[in-house]
Amino acid sequence: MGARQTIQINIERLQYLLDLFKMDELRLKSIIEPKLKKSIDFTQPINIGTLVEIDKIFNRGLDFYTNPNPINKANSSLLFGLY
């Protein structure tokens, strides 16, 4: 069995989703970590499987988390259907 693939995420985009969903990192970890073998450190590249589990909550697609561009908050309500 090979090494697990990891990927760097744009933490600002994850924080945006946490704010939008009125969550914090601790709450997200409490939901995700029971399914994992080890704790999540969002400052480090994370396992792709972990990112898939995170996306099951926010449903944005993996590209959303890895996109290096900042979110245009002026248009974000349209992006998330919050108009």
Q: How is residue 73 annotated by DSSP?
A: T
* SS3 call for 29: helix
Q: Is the dihedral of CA 31, 14, 65, 58 positive or negative?
A: positive
**Which of 10-14, 29-33, 63-67, 79-83 is predicted with the least confidence, judged by mean pLDDT?**
79-83
Of the candidates 16, 2, 31, 21, the one whose C-alpha atom is nearest the C-alpha of residue 67 is 16
Residue 47 or residue 73, greater confidence: 47
pTM of the full predicted structure? 0.81
For the chain, give the mean pLDDT.
87
What tokens were used for 75?
A: 């248009």
Query: What is the predicted pLDDT for the residue at 79?
Result: 54
Give 47's strand partners.
Answer: 6
